[in-house]
């Protein structure tokens, strides 16, 4: 089942390692593990239901991983940041400083769906998307040129290529998005993407996340303004057929 996405992540987390610190920024949530690993996830607002844990600080990474299933979106953001601090690390390899989201992906004459308005982010430009026969952009927030994310139900089955923001793992829409995109080439991109190779068999061709290389500078910057974390990180790439 595609809902195994979260179970796969949970099963790969180590015992004993704890979450040392959480940082809540303007647009990003960051987590630092006791081994120094640092990860980020898009800050997703919403605390209309109780948290699973009073705080994830001091919890083991396995406990933090359980909170990926929290319907308190603030807590789920924290959980994904902690999970990314483990998977998107030098321990797991696959840092790819020169890689870009759409490298080697041909869009000529293709119908492209983008979940999350990422044009101008993740190395995605209008120029790169121009060869597509048709481009559909869907976003949960009201943004110029984007349809509401409810359009995914109707549009994604029509697409040849689907680009999905990693933050879909926070709001739990990701399993359904993958199901709707099962006949397409699926690329997940952005700092919220968890680069875990065991996710690829779920129908994902490419996971393109970020490896945080300047954690202290990033932690300070994200609390000061809405910004990209790209200046404090390098791309982290996993592709179907290239990872064990």
Domain spans in the chain, listed from the N-terminal domain onward: 4-92, 111-211+235-239
Predicted confidence at residue 227, as pLDDT, reads 85
Rounded Cα gap, residues 129 and 123, in angstroms? 11
| Model confidence band, residue 94 (pLDDT cutoffs 50, 70, 90) | low
Q: Is the Cβ–Cβ distance between 221 and 232 less than 8 Å? A: yes
pLDDT digits (tens, 9 = 90+) for 11-48: 999 988 999 999 999 999 999 999 999 999 999 988 89
Predicted confidence at residue 241, as pLDDT, reads 72
Q: What is the CATH number of domain 4-92?
A: 3.30.390.100
Percent over 70 (pLDDT), the chain:
95
| Model confidence band, residue 91 (pLDDT cutoffs 50, 70, 90) | low
Q: What pTM does this model have?
A: 0.93
Predicted confidence at residue 120, as pLDDT, reads 80
pLDDT score of 242 more than 60: no
pLDDT score of 243 more than 60: no
pLDDT score of 236 more than 90: no
Lookup result for tokens 């481009």? 135
For the chain, give the mean pLDDT.
91
Q: What is the mean pLDDT of residues 164-186?
A: 95
For the 111-211+235-239 domain, the top CATH level (class) is alpha beta
Q: What is the mean pLDDT of residues 103-122?
A: 90
95 forms bridges with which residues in the sheet? 236
pLDDT score of 190 more than 90: yes
Q: Is the Cβ–Cβ distance between 24 and 220 less than 8 Å? A: no
Q: What is the mean pLDDT of residues 151-160?
A: 97
Residues 6+ apart with CB under 8 A from 9: 65, 68, 83, 87, 194, 196, 199
């Amino acid at each position: 089942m595609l809902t195994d996405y979260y179970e796969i992540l949970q099963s790969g987390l180590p015992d004993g390692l704890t979450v040392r610190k959480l940082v809540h920024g303007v647009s990003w949530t960051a987590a630092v593990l006791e081994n120094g690993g640092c990860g980020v996830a898009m800050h997703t607002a919403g605390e209309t239901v109780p948290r699973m844990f009073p705080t994830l600080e001091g919890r083991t990474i396995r406990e933090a991983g359980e909170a990926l299933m929290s319907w308190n979106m603030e807590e789920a953001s924290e959980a994904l940041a902690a999970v990314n601090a483990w998977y998107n690390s030098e321990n797991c390899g696959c840092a790819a400083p020169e890689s870009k989201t759409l490298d080697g992906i041909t869009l000529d004459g293709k119908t492209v769906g983008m979940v999350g308005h990422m044009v101008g982010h993740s190395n995605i430009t209008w120029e790169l998307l121009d060869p597509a026969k048709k481009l559909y952009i869907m976003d949960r927030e009201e943004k110029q040129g984007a349809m509401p994310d409810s359009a995914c139900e109707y549009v994604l089955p029509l697409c040849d290529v689907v680009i999905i923001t990693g933050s879909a793992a926070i709001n739990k829409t990701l399993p359904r998005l993958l199901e709707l995109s099962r006949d397409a080439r699926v690329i997940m991109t952005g700092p919220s993407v968890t680069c875990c190779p065991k996710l690829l068999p779920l129908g994902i061709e490419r996971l393109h996340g970020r490896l945080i290389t300047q954690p202290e500078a990033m932690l300070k910057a994200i609390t000061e303004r809405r910004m990209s974390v790209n200046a404090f990180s390098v791309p982290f790439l996993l592709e179907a057929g290239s990872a064990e």
